[in-house]
Structure 1
Amino acid sequence: MRLNLQEPITELGHKVYDLHLLMTIVCGVIFVAVFGVMFWSVFVHRKSAGHKAATFHESTTVEILWTIVPVFILLGMAWPATKTILAMRDTSNPDITIKATGYQWKWGYDYLKGAGEGISFTSNLSTPQPQIRNEAAKGTDYLLEVDNELVVPVGKKVRILTTANDVIHAWWVPALAVKQDAIPGFIRDTWFRAEKTGTFRGQCAELCGKDHGYMPIVVKVVTEEEYAAWTEKKKAEQAAAADDPNKMYTVEELAPRGEKIFAANCAACHQANGQGLPPAFPALDGSKVVLGPQDGQIDVLLHGRQGTAMASFKHMSDTDIAAVITYTRNSWSNKTGEVVQPSDIKMARE
């Protein structure tokens, strides 16, 4: 077992690694020196060896020394620490800028600058539920695998803007020496420049609710050629998947899409059978909200409910929200036959 930090793959990561090692050595030397002198004094001057307690007053020289020496030690430690912290805060002149938004409980990514500008997607935990419920053997990357990885090119400075949609999260990838809080209503930033290709994993590092342990971060570093191919493919997929905002859907068109969205975002709390886990997570099967006026359910999806675990899902597209509401109103014992259209969601937003 290797008891240390993860092997860094960025220049900044190496600085953090070396700084950690330096501070550990300094603290270790101080520990050995202080406790060595203390235990030596106790042993040599013990009563059983014939020593008697001495009576003496303060020594100005000693007090000056034990004030000045620690000051110089702290200054010596502060100099490299300050240089590293300043380097961590220098997010100027990035090649790529990506916004990472924390949601309960997943990450959303928006490429704002660089070759991938315009690409947006969410990244969800992809570990199968049977593994989580101990019904199947754990995979190699248990709870550290996602359906959509954050892809960046090697050797490029990547600026990460962090924010959150609901509560405080934290974007943390140890190998990149990156850890930045994501706070609702604020934009924080950090950066990294990967020196080699590979897949690097992290997690949300802020206790953010029930599924805090289920929102991993996976960064895939690729060559520039692979990145160019990925961005082209991703943009083509987004264009193909773009919804017609004026299309009128049927239940048969929206419900299957809503079922997939429900499984990825809602089933953990409300359960696949719609029975929920009362009282914290109410049942949707037979729910007064689901069977009531559409406006009420749309409002819950868009704004969440304060004081409960129900978060806002306004980051989803109008069609996705319409699909999941249509699914819940026509599943289990809920057989309303009603269809919520994307235009209804758009109107509610406005």
Structure 2
Amino acid sequence: MQKMLGLARFAALMSSLLASGSALAYTGAKWNLPEGVTEISHEVHGLHMMVFWICVVIGVVVFGAMFYSVFAHRKSKGAVAAKFHESTTVEIIWTAIPFFILVAMAIPAAATLVKMDDTRNADLSIKVTGYQWKWQYEYVGEDVSYFSTLAKTSNKARQLQSGVDVNTVDNYLVDVDNPLVLPVGKKIRFLITSNDVIHAWWVSQIAVKKDAIPGYINEVWTKIDEPGTFRGVCAELCGRDHGFMPIVVKALPEDEFKAWLAEKKGGGEQVAAAATTSVMPAAATMTDAAPAAEAPVEVAAVTPAPAAAAPAAAAGKSKEDLVAHGEKVYKGNCAACHQVTGAGMPPTFPALVGSKVATGPKAGAIAQVLKGKNMMPPFSQLSDDDIAGVLTYVASSWGNKGEIVQAADVAAARK
């Protein structure tokens, strides 16, 4: 019996070791803090490793002494415990040593924290605004602004019964349609806020993590040393699609960045609109609920298209074509919140069935999509065809009897 128990313990131990080895082989070095590509990230990594090894040494000393004492002074060897009440010398030692260790860690950490908070003399300022569930980037003083949402490939694959193997999707759930483009070697100041709930903008490789709080602006900065693409996530639970608003930073040499910025400026609003994709715009607003209860209900990306109406749109599409296109937009971007049936999940995600906005004058629905309302941001970056299709689909589904919307109607409303 004892032999069987010994074999069982040995088997359990080997299984644990094999599982640990497999986990290490699978994850590689991903569990550790990355060194990053900025001076601050290198300092943060250095502090992290210093504290880690201090903890390792303390752990080895403390547990080593404890296990040695238990083994060497066990009762079976006739050891007798010492009987004393206190030792002033020992208490001074075990108080002084941790004190000096903490001071040794605090001095370099405080110096790094001071550097992290010094946003003065920035070469470029970028306002970062969090939305449920995407990011908006505004290059302050440069007249460039756009939204960044989950990439279309990831959005399609994440849908229930999509039939897509997520292992075949590059950068699944950590890729976007429009990355934040930054110049290498320049000090960039971020002004981080939110339009709805608390988010957190976090890119570990550039050592930036700040909360995005409605009505408040947090400041932080970075200076990237080398070109590359760096990925991050929202680090604050912000709602049902919290996991689907990734961050991608693309660092370019200064001359390439200037060319990119000039192209963005040159195209004006149309370039920003064509380069930006977003989500189902009307679902969150076509509601009879009180304005205060309305909230943006975007889910993921829609295929980008030029903001201006195509020549064929002038003649108008048939209702069948509009509904067919709008259904694709709706199912890929709106059904997660408002449900395939349009019943929604009140009060957060209002029903579209019988909504007065959905069944009322089309001008009102178009205006809400283009300009937003209350907490809902504007979605003018969607193409005219997408807006016309999804509004017609919602206005014609689930017993709704609304008006047909053509791309030309949307184009006219933009003016």
Q: What is the TM-score when the length of structure 1 is the normalising length? A: 0.81
Q: What is the rounded CA distance, in whole Å, between the counterparts of 2:341 and 2:125 in structure 1?
A: 40
Secondary structure of residue in 2 paired with 1:17: helix
Preserved CA contact (<8 Å) 2:361 2:402:
no
Secondary structure of the corresponding residue to residue 166 of structure 1: coil
Name the aligned partner's letter for residue 133 of structure 2. Answer: W
Deviations 1:112-163 (A, max 9, x none): 04xxx11000000013444213621221200011111100111111111100
> Which is worse superposed, 134-143 or 171-180?
134-143
Q: 5+ unaligned residues in a row in structure 1: which ranges?
A: 305-311
Task: State how far apart, in whole Å, the 1-side matches of 2:240 and 2:357 are.
Answer: 23
Contact 2:41 2:206 in 1 (8 A): yes
1:27 aligns with one of 51, 55, 61: 55
Structure 1 position 275 matched with structure 2 position 303 = no
The corresponding residue for 1:120 is: 145
Paired residues of 1:274 and 1:283 also in contact (CA < 8 A) = no
- In structure 2, the residue matched to 1:314 is 377
3-state SS of 1:330 partner: helix
Please give the alpha-carbon distance, in whole angstroms, between the structure 1 residues aligned to 2:108 and 2:196.
36
Give the conservation status (yes or no) of the 8 Å contact 1:270–1:281.
yes
2:262 counterpart letter in structure 1: E
Given candidates 212, 219, 230, the residue that maps to 2:249 is 219
Which one of the candidate residues 14, 19, 34 is aligned to 1:6? Answer: 34
User: Which residue does the alignment assign to 1:204?
Assistant: 234
1:22, CA displacement in angstroms?
A: 0.3
User: 1:166 corresponds to which residue?
Assistant: 196
Matched, 1:52 2:80: yes
Comparing 276-285 with 90-99, greater Cα deviation is found at 276-285
Query: Which structure 2 residues correspond to residues 30-45 of structure 1 after superposition, within 5 A?
Result: 30-45=58-73
In 2 relative to 1, CA 136–32 (structure 1 residues): closer, same or farther, beyond 3 Å?
Answer: same
Write the distance in 1 (CA, Å) between the matches of 2:204 and 2:351.
39
RMSD between superposed Cα atoms in Å: 3.5
Distance 1:70 1:12, change over 3 A: same
Equivalent position of 1:135 in the other structure: 163
Q: 115, 121, 127: which is aligned to 1:99?
A: 127
What displacement does 1:295 show?
A: 10
Looking at structure 2, the residues matched to 232 and 295 of structure 1 have their Cα atoms a distance apart, in angstroms, of 35
SS at match of 2:136: strand
Secondary structure in 2 matching 1:4: coil
Alpha-carbon distance in 1 for matches of 2:330, 2:411: 17
1:180-195 equivalences under 5 Å are 180-195=210-225
- TM-score normalised by the chain length of structure 2: 0.69
Q: Contact 2:123–2:187 (CA<8 Å) still a contact in 1? A: yes
Give the conservation status (yes or no) of the 8 Å contact 1:318–1:342: no
Of 320, 326, 337 in structure 1, the residue corresponding to residue 403 of structure 2 is 337
The C-alpha deviation readout for 1:264-305, integer Å capped at 9, x for no partner, is 76343125x55355567454244455225789977899456x
Tell me the CA shift for residue 5 of structure 1: 1.8
SS at match of 2:37: coil
Percent of residue pairs bearing the same amino acid type: 48
SS in 1 for 2:63: helix
SS in 1 for 2:150: coil
Q: How far apart in 2 are the matches of 1:105 and 1:251?
A: 35
